[in-house]
Structure 1
Amino acid sequence: MSQRMEEPKTVGECWAVFKRFGFMKPELPLDDSLFPNALQLVQMHNAHLDEIERFTAANTAMREVLEWYEDDANWCGILTGSSNIHVDGGERAQSVLEKIQKNDSEAVILRPEVSWFAEQMELTLRRNDHKGGWKECSFVYLYQRLNEEIQELGNEYFARHFHSEPKWEGILREAPDVANFAMMLADLARRTIDKKEGERHDQPIESP
């Protein structure tokens, strides 16, 4: 199984995942209880492929470095100070280590719950795309909207005072709204920091 797998969206696709991994049990139960395990199998499989790709790339880079160091001509150039030979003081090996460390930091595997909730956030955003997005909104406006959504989320829970239990469907509907406005505030902060960093780097260097 060397190809990435798509996350299952139906019960039939869940059983297709199980069968692909060698689980040949009768196709019961036929309900949503299949999804968590099937989803976890797919995510583990894809994460495994990501790790293989990462180590393959690192091994390729390391092999190129070793081949350079094994070339006697390069070492002769270093020892003799030949101007037509690039003098390497370990830069190649260091660059490979930095690449490996960078890949390690980028390899973030999402928990199934986080992946599911992120999908709910995205679906909510798409339903509101006609409103024009949040890129031009101020911090104050987004903060006010966040508090309004928190209030609406709380109302769904405390509706149990009028019903036998909280309105869980409403909580599922409102929670992505809360998360999205928190995300928008974080995105505003990130873009502001990036802009200031860019302006700082764009400043001309003063002569001593």
Structure 2
Amino acid sequence: CKAQSPPVEPALLAFERWQFRCKLQEERVQQQGALTMHDPLFPTTKTPEKGLVEDLKRSGMSAPAARDVARQLAAESVEAVKALQAMTDGCSSGDDESPRWRTAAVTNKHTLDFYNAEHKPKRLLKLTKVHYNKLRALWGAHRAGRTSAQTVGASEVDLDPAEERGLHDAVLCLLLRYNALCGHGFQAAAGEHVFAALRGRVGATLE
């Protein structure tokens, strides 16, 4: 879009609308058993998505340029999925040449920093200790076969080193997912009064 003359600023949420429309289309194809490639986040639709083309045209882009941008985005998304699948296959195969992954969790005064220790971190993914303790309590409740984390606190969750690595891997994946879904309005936030009502009525202690 920036390569256009003059540069075009896509409509707000144009990317997110493209993403969700493509995933909805894939879901329908998957129900028919005709989906050959799938990723939870990235679309694998190879053709230019009409809705994105219209969004770009409304932003001031010509129809041919809009179709070209939509085609490029679709192609890059497919290539990203292929790269992720290759990485996943390599990790699951036990191949010595497969990508390495080791989660580092650094404790600060009020937060924890998470990153892949096998690579120089370009961005630290931060989590407050309050939220980390909630996730740790939920992890412990799940391990104990409980349906609620209400009966176990974070301080009561005794994890051996392997289990703690598993928790930290899961936390990093969670933070990476939210970091990737950084579009407008993706936080799905609810106010404190909503959570107070959920806690009071159904005993929910985790978001």
Q: Normalising by structure 1, report the TM-score.
A: 0.23
Q: Specify the structure having the higher radius of gyration (Cα).
A: 1
Normalised to the residue count of structure 2, the TM-score between the two structures is: 0.23
Greater share of residues in helix: 1
